[in-house]
């Protein structure tokens, strides 16, 4: 409260947060708690939720327990152990309302460029047509890692005569009843889509390029007694910390991700047992869905419904990728033709950081040129040459309990901004030596992990692991607390009492 009162003596800095999903909304709340009121969230969607606004496909739900897939500071009376898309979107809308942030969001605004002005010590954000969206002293990217849909460039894809769409752009008017539907992809999304469509479609044909390790989700509705218990903040806190501890115990030192360790061996044995129990009596299916790579080489798929769906008469598994699309169906890699009425692309997302916009830093170089196809960032949050710019869910932060990671990142960013404002400075930037040392340390931790498997989305263009965090959330949290002071350079390039930009120039809503 004292910080807020002192800061009111001068105008708050403008902060632009790009994205209104879990990362962006959590960031806005954290900034509000730190006393910063001139926060604007920008999102290309028509409402809040980020990935949970766009992914409305049949069967969309989390594969992390609901208590963990929510903010620690805003528990919720969830309906299920693993909640579905609509309930998550409603939760995020409720967060905005509770913290008075609903009028701070500008929807249907797509940021394409973010440009630093060294003379003004602030950024200008532009849309795709070059129009200025706003100016801001600080910019936070909260667009996530897996948010830009990836549609395969298949020969003939434009010739298909029926409905064809990506799961992240689900056709709400699509009726699967009585149709022969092809599902291209075999990851987490396909594992949710296939069982749901199977209950309505005449036939579902899934094209699997490579199987993935699967583990049971054990999802179910909460009982009335359990829902009543969720009214207790103390109970939710206890459940949350128990689940974090259980996850961290397996991930400590990257154990579960390192082939040959007891944790990894045990996880793979459990996954094999799940296959054999679920598909008993079908050695053909057991052979088809058992991966040939170590557990953790690709993102494990958490599902209760997929293996049982494969046993249904109207579900067919094709262990070949799609080679080409025709007017009436597809041709698989073995040359077999499959007649279909509709095609659903469960082909994932572009695993490139900041794939939807570009940032120009103080040297005039874009962040993509700086990375040169080799994305890296200090704590996954800050990049040298890019003052006052922060990334949430950035390089080498994927894995573990993601919402907890986002809370840690939001705290770090709010602390960095507060440090600049207390010093009446104009910018904060990570020091090059700190970023290099941190990156080398993380890459050393990744050596020997299953993430090194070549056929996954974890690698950058150079082949280094750019997406994954190799340890538990507690270690990451400790680093976000410890790596502050000397790792960051706070500078005053406009004078100690330089005025902030006029409000109308910032164009906050």
Query: Stretch 344-356: mean pLDDT, rounded?
Result: 89
Position 7 scores a pLDDT of 47
Given the structure tokens 């290309």, which residue do they identify? 44
Say if residue 440 is exposed, middle or buried (CB neighbours under 10 Å; 0-12, 13-18, 19+). Answer: exposed
The answer on 312 and 337 residing in a single domain is yes
Query: Stretch 343-365: mean pLDDT, rounded?
Result: 92
The number of CA neighbours under 13 Å toward the Cβ of 159 is 10
The answer on 183 and 63 residing in a single domain is no
The answer on 385 and 359 residing in a single domain is yes
**DSSP E strands: which ranges in 131-259?**
132-136, 138-141, 164-166, 180-184, 203-207, 214-215
Q: In this predicted model, what pLDDT tens digit does every residue of 182-218 receive, in sequence order?
A: 999 999 999 999 999 999 999 999 999 999 999 999 9
Q: In this predicted model, what pLDDT tens digit does every residue of 301-330 receive, in sequence order?
A: 999 999 999 999 999 999 999 999 999 999
Domain hosting 26: range is 2-148+350-506
Phi, psi of 180 (to 5 degrees): -95, 115
Which residue(s) pair with 428 in the sheet?
A: 490
Distance CA 77, CA 28 (A): 23
Position 509 scores a pLDDT of 31
Domain stops at, among 343, 372, 407: 343
245 located within any domain: no
244 located within any domain: no
The answer on 457 and 427 residing in a single domain is yes
Confidence label for 115 from pLDDT (cuts 50, 70 and 90) = very high
Pairing, β 164-166 against β 138-141: unpaired
* 8 A C-beta contact, residue 420 and residue 428: yes
H or E element in which residue 339 lies: strand 337-339
DSSP 498: P
The answer on 182 and 73 residing in a single domain is no
497 located within any domain: yes
The answer on 179 and 137 residing in a single domain is no
280 located within any domain: yes
Whether the pLDDT of residue 480 is over 80: the answer is yes
Q: Angle at the Cα of 189 (from 185 to 192), degrees rounded to 5?
A: 115
Whether the pLDDT of residue 499 is over 60: the answer is no
Phi, psi of 360 (to 5 degrees): -110, 125
Position 495 scores a pLDDT of 54
Domain stops at, among 328, 343, 358: 343
Position 503 scores a pLDDT of 37
243 located within any domain: no
Domain count, the chain: 2
The answer on 189 and 91 residing in a single domain is no
398 located within any domain: yes
Whether the pLDDT of residue 146 is over 60: the answer is yes
Q: In this predicted model, what pLDDT tens digit does every residue of 45-77 receive, in sequence order?
A: 999 999 999 999 988 999 999 999 999 999 999
Position 350 scores a pLDDT of 79
Q: In this predicted model, what pLDDT tens digit does every residue of 222-233 receive, in sequence order?
A: 999 999 888 888
Query: Stretch 286-307: mean pLDDT, rounded?
Result: 95
Whether the pLDDT of residue 16 is over 80: the answer is yes
Whether the pLDDT of residue 273 is over 70: the answer is yes
Q: What's the 3-state SS for 455-486?
A: CCCCECCCCCECCECCCCHHHHHHHHHHCCHH
* 8 A C-beta contact, residue 501 and residue 135: yes
The answer on 99 and 35 residing in a single domain is yes
The answer on 174 and 66 residing in a single domain is no
The answer on 495 and 372 residing in a single domain is yes
Which residue(s) pair with 207 in the sheet?
A: 184, 318
60 located within any domain: yes
Percent of the chain whose pLDDT exceeds 70 = 95
DSSP 116: E
Say how many Å lie between the first and final Cα of the chain, rounded: 25
Q: In this predicted model, what pLDDT tens digit does every residue of 356-401 receive, in sequence order?
A: 999 999 999 999 999 998 999 999 999 999 999 999 999 999 987 8
300 located within any domain: yes
Whether the pLDDT of residue 237 is over 80: the answer is yes
Label residues 146-175 b or e (16+ Cβ within 10 Å = b): bbebbeeebeebeebebbbbbbbebeeebe
Position 61 scores a pLDDT of 93
* 8 A C-beta contact, residue 17 and residue 42: yes
The answer on 327 and 182 residing in a single domain is yes
41: left (phi over 0), alpha (psi -120 to 50) or beta: beta
Query: Stretch 30-39: mean pLDDT, rounded?
Result: 96
Distance CA 264, CA 251 (A): 10
Q: In this predicted model, what pLDDT tens digit does every residue of 446-477 receive, in sequence order?
A: 999 999 998 899 988 888 999 999 999 999 99
DSSP 54: H
Position 506 scores a pLDDT of 35
Proportion of the chain in helix, strand, coil states, percent, rounded to 5: 35, 20, 45
CATH code of residue 89 = 3.50.50.60
Helix intervals (H) in 211-280: 224-229, 233-251, 262-278
Query: Stretch 76-91: mean pLDDT, rounded?
Result: 94
Distance CA 465, CA 440 (A): 12
Q: What are the distances in angstroms from CA 301 to CA 192, 215, 298, 388? A: 10, 6, 9, 37
Domain stops at, among 310, 343, 376: 343
Position 504 scores a pLDDT of 31
The answer on 397 and 422 residing in a single domain is yes
């Amino acid at each position: 409260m004292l910080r807020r009162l002192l800061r009111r003596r001068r105008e708050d800095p403008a902060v632009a947060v790009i994205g209104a999903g879990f990362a962006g909304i959590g960031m806005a709340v954290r900034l509000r708690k730190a006393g910063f009121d001139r926060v604007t969230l920008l999102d290309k969607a028509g409402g809040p939720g980020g990935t949970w606004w766009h992914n409305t496909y049949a069967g969309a739900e989390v594969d992390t327990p609901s208590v963990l897939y929510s903010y620690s500071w805003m528990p919720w009376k969830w309906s299920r152990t693993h909640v579905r898309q609509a309930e998550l979107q409603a939760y995020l809308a409720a967060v905005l309302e509770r913290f008075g942030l609903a009028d701070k969001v500008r929807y249907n605004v797509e940021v394409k460029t973010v440009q630093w002005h060294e003379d003004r010590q602030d950024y200008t954000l532009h849309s795709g047509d070059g129009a200025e969206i706003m100016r801001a002293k600080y910019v936070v990217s909260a667009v996530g890692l897996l948010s830009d849909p990836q549609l395969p460039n298949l020969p003939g894809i434009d010739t298909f005569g029926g409905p064809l769409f990506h799961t992240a752009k689900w056709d709400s008017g699509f009726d699967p009843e009585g149709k022969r539907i092809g599902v291209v992809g075999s990851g987490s999304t396909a594992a949710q889509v296939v069982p749901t469509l199977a209950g309505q479609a005449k036939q579902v044909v899934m094209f699997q390029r490579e199987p993935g390790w699967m583990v049971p989700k054990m999802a179910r509705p909460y009982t009335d007694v359990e829902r009543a218990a969720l009214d207790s903040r103390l109970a939710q806190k206890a459940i949350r910390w128990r689940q974090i501890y259980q996850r961290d115990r397996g991930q400590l030192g990257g154990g579960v991700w390192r082939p040959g360790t007891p944790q990894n061996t045990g996880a793979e044995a459990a996954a094999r047992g799940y296959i054999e129990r679920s598909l008993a009596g079908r050695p053909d299916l057991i052979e088809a869905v058992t991966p040939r790579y170590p557990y953790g080489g690709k993102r494990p798929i958490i599902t209760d419904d997929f293996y049982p769906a494969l046993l249904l008469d109207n579900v067919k598994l094709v262990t070949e990728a799609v080679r080409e699309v025709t007017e009436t169906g597809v041709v698989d890699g073995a040359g077999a033709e499959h007649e279909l009425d509709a095609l659903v692309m469960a082909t994932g997302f572009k695993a490139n950081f900041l794939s939807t916009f570009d940032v120009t830093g103080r040297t005039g170089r874009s962040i993509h040129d700086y990375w040169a196809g080799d994305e890296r960032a200090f704590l996954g949050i800050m990049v040298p040459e890019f003052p006052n710019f922060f990334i949430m869910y950035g390089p080498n932060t994927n894995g573990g309990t993601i919402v907890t990671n986002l809370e840690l990142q939001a705290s770090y960013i709010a602390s960095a901004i507060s440090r600049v404002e207390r010093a009446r400075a104009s910018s904060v930037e990570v020091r090059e030596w700190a970023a290099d040392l941190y990156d080398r340390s993380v890459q050393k931790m990744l050596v020997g992990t299953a993430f090194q498997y070549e056929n996954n989305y974890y690698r950058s263009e150079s082949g280094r692991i750019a997406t994954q965090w190799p340890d538990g959330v507690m270690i990451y949290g400790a680093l976000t607390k410890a790596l502050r002071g000397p790792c960051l350079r706070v500078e005053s390039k406009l004078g100690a009492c330089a005025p902030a930009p006029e409000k109308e120039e910032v164009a906050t809503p």
